[in-house]
Amino acid sequence: AHCNGKYVFKYVSISNGLALYSYNCKTGKKRKIASSISTSQLVGKRIYYAVSNGNGTYNIYNVNLAGGNKKTIVKKLKAFSFGIFDSKYIYYNIYDSNTSATTYYRYNIKTKKSQKISESQYLSVWY
């Protein structure tokens, strides 16, 4: 679970993956943010999360800490797994099982375009 002062974020296992909830620590109210998520990250005062479409593509959204004011970042982003999300980029990779090659990308939230990057660029945002 992620914690940010007034709110706690919790994953709950459901039949088709994970559901994400926001709990208000002061009022005790909980709010379901989404089902079938593959990842979520706290970025500033927003929660970014990826929802699988079941075909190797994902929709990326963000909400405020209370779980409201949902915004769509990108729909049908083809990805194998995700790295770091920040306020400017979504880092992700695509794995080719035929060649066993992994290609790294970052999606620019402002321009709505993906750019191929090196593995070292991908890893550098982790540290």
pLDDT in tens, 52-93: 888 889 999 999 988 899 999 999 999 999 999 988 999 999
Structure tokens belonging to residue 56? 């190797």
9 with 20: CB under 8 angstroms?
yes
The DSSP symbol for 122 reads: H
Cα–Cα distance for residue pair 124/28, rounded to 1 Å: 38
State the pLDDT at residue 15. 67
- Percent above pLDDT 90 for the chain: 52
Residue at token pair 């090196």: 118
Cα–Cα distance for residue pair 115/36, rounded to 1 Å: 26
State the pLDDT at residue 117. 96
- Percent above pLDDT 70 for the chain: 93
81 with 93: CB under 8 angstroms?
yes
State the pLDDT at residue 80. 94
pLDDT in tens, 16-27: 678 888 888 888
